[in-house]
């Protein structure tokens, strides 16, 4: 099966990938925050101890590309990455937005690209070494309002059930001054017909740069099944009066192991950052947030919602307000509905406040569905199952703040008006 991968090679002892995995493991395996994660994501230790058993994949064969090209998968405007590599021939791109392979865009956009350290961004550090400058850069020019959602799809295919294969997609989004866009990122593993088992290892990175008064809403729809290990790092930089919302939609096919690191840096006055998570019966998933307020009058919001009738969900939410962050406001909430005794949830809020005249709050609630609401909805003619489903859907609904994203909200309202009054 590995023969179908265009670039697939074993990790060799002493190679940069072997050394990077070793540095990551030695740096973090004894850290209390990472210890439990490393037990489930044992591939990092595996590369350290038995590197020859692991393969690094990037790109697909022409056969794979043709197979994908003839499928009806279009989301409209879309950018396609196969096994971590951007494939322009499979992508349908809107006019005005710039899409470039990372290795071609590096010189043009070098000031926006991060150099990650193993100490602060371990997953992104490993991704950078494994990806070897593959990935895609998306640039929305100054003042451009993208009228339709942009879709980015990463597909892992094909996969061998007997091999440990690491995929390292990387997506960079640069929003020019006063630009606005909505981006949806999808991931899944394309299995052979009839197969339901996968042990794919996906370690992705998204870098987001939001210039002055720009707006970006990015929603991620990952699927990680069976024995898959899916990790993804979002690194967000927001300048003066810019706004960025990252939504993680963990509602479908999340029976593997998930690990999400979200780091938001608000570096300009009035910057706004938002992390929204909706999780439904994940097998075992970690979400680690850090909201870093490093400028005056910045605002962050973390709204994490989880419903569990099985599995485990762990949230670690950090808020840091530096001495530059006076008059800043940070809000963090984690709400959970536990529908069975076997499900488990954990919350770890962490606050570091180094400035006066700030507001910072955190809260967590755990409980069952409200029986009074179920009773009321049943009295209106619903069955018990219908009432519970309706309550679950309402609970898991997450939306960006309307006040922080006026351009995106106006665009959606405009589309709604056009759909309500179709042309004759």
pLDDT in tens, 223-282: 998 889 999 999 999 999 999 999 999 999 999 999 999 999 999 999 999 999 999 989
pLDDT tens per residue, range 174-204: 999 999 999 999 999 888 777 778 889 999 9
For residue 124, the model assigns a pLDDT of 96
d(CA 85, CA 80): 8
Give the residue from 136, 6, 152 showing the smallest Cα distance to 66.
6
pLDDT at 76 over 80: no
The domains of the chain are located at 5-370
For residue 420, the model assigns a pLDDT of 54
d(CA 169, CA 164): 16
Lowest mean per-residue pLDDT among 21-35, 73-87, 95-109, 389-403 = 73-87
Lowest mean per-residue pLDDT among 42-51, 130-139, 141-150, 407-416 = 407-416
Q: What is the pTM of this model?
A: 0.92
Other Cβ atoms closer than 10 A to 311: 20
Categorize the per-residue pLDDT at 137 as very low, low, confident or very high, splitting at 50, 70 and 90: very high
* Residue-wise DSSP of 48-88: HH-GGGEEEE--B-HHHHHHHHTS----SSEEEEETTEE-G
pLDDT at 3 over 50: no
For residue 162, the model assigns a pLDDT of 63
pLDDT (mean) for 215-228: 95
d(CA 399, CA 276): 8
pLDDT tens per residue, range 327-352: 999 999 999 999 888 899 999 999 99
d(CA 350, CA 332): 10
Q: Cβ(284)–Cβ(258) under 8 Å?
A: yes
pLDDT (mean) for 316-332: 98
Give the angle 300-237-205 at the CA atoms, nearest 5°.
105
Strands 8-10 and 54-57: antiparallel
Q: Cβ(134)–Cβ(40) under 8 Å?
A: no
Mapping DSSP to helix (H, G, I), strand (E, B) and coil, where does residue 30 land?
Answer: coil
Q: Distances in Å between the alpha carbon of 105 and those of 7, 138, 142, 148, 424? A: 21, 9, 18, 24, 44
Question: Which is more confident, 162 or 362?
Answer: 362
d(CA 385, CA 378): 9
Token readout for 377 is 């909805």
Token readout for 156 is 């892992």
d(CA 79, CA 73): 12
Q: Who's near 31: CB < 8 A, 6+ residues apart?
A: none
Other Cβ atoms closer than 10 A to 179: 24
pLDDT (mean) for 381-402: 87
pLDDT at 161 over 80: no
Phi and psi dihedrals of 35, rounded to 5?
A: -55, -50
d(CA 43, CA 165): 10
Give the residue from 317, 226, 329, 228 showing the smallest Cα distance to 277.
317
Categorize the per-residue pLDDT at 75 as very low, low, confident or very high, splitting at 50, 70 and 90: low
pLDDT (mean) for 384-391: 84
Categorize the per-residue pLDDT at 51 as very low, low, confident or very high, splitting at 50, 70 and 90: very high
For residue 417, the model assigns a pLDDT of 62
Q: Cβ(404)–Cβ(243) under 8 Å?
A: yes
Percentage of the chain exceeding pLDDT 90:
68
For residue 348, the model assigns a pLDDT of 95
d(CA 35, CA 135): 30
Average pLDDT, the chain: 90
**Which H or E run contains 378?**
helix 371-379
pLDDT tens per residue, range 96-136: 999 999 999 998 998 899 899 999 999 999 999 999 889 99
Mapping DSSP to helix (H, G, I), strand (E, B) and coil, where does residue 141 land?
Answer: coil
Q: Distances in Å between the alpha carbon of 309 and those of 282, 315, 345, 386, 404? A: 9, 17, 11, 16, 34
């Amino acid at each position: 099966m590995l023969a179908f991968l265009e670039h697939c090679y074993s990790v060799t002892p002493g190679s940069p990938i072997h050394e990077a995995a070793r540095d990551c493991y030695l740096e973090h395996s004894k850290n209390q925050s990472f210890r439990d994660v490393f037990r489930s994501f044992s591939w990092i230790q595996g590369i350290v101890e038995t590197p020859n058993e692991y393969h690094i994949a990037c790109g697909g064969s022409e056969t794979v590309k043709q197979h994908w090209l003839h499928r009806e998968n279009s989301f409209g405007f879309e950018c396609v990455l196969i096994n971590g590599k951007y494939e322009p021939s499979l992508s349908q791109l809107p006019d005005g937005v710039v899409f470039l392979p990372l290795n071609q865009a590096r010189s043009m956009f070098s000031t926006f690209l991060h150099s990650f350290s193993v100490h602060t961004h371990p997953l992104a550090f490993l991704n950078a070494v494994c990806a070897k400058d593959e990935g895609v850069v998306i640039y929305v020019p100054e003042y451009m309002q993208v009228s339709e959602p942009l879709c980015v799809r990463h597909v892992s295919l094909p996969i061998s059930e007997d091999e440990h294969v690491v995929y390292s997609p990387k997506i960079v989004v640069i929003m020019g001054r006063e630009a606005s866009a909505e981006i949806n990122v999808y991931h899944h593993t394309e299995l052979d017909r009839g197969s339901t088992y996968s042990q794919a290892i996906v370690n992705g990175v998204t870098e987001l740069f939001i210039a002055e008064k720009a707006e970006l809403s990015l929603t991620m729809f990952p699927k990680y099944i069976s024995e898959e290990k899916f990790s993804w790092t979002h690194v967000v930089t927001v300048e003066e009066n810019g706004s960025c919302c990252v939504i993680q939609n963990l509602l479908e096919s999340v029976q593997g192991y998930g690990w999400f690191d979200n780091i938001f840096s608000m570096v300009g006055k009035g910057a706004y950052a938002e992390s929204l998570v909706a999780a439904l019966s994940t097998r075992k998933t970690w979400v680690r947030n850090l909201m870093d307020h490093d400028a005056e009058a910045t605002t962050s919001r973390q709204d994490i919602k989880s419903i569990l009738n099985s599995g485990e969900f762990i949230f670690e939410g950090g808020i840091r307000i530096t001495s530059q962050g006076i008059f800043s406001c940070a809000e963090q909430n984690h709400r959970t509905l536990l529908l069975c005794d076997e499900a488990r949830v954990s919350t770890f809020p962490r606050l570091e406040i180094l400035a006066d005249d700030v507001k910072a709050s955190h809260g967590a609630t755990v409980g069952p569905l409200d029986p009074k609401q179920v009773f009321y909805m049943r009295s209106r003619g619903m069955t018990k199952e219908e009432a519970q489903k309706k309550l679950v859907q309402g609970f898991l609904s997450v939306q960006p703040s309307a006040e922080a994203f006026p351009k995106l909200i106006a665009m959606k309202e405009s589309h709604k008006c056009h759909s309500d009054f179709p042309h004759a």
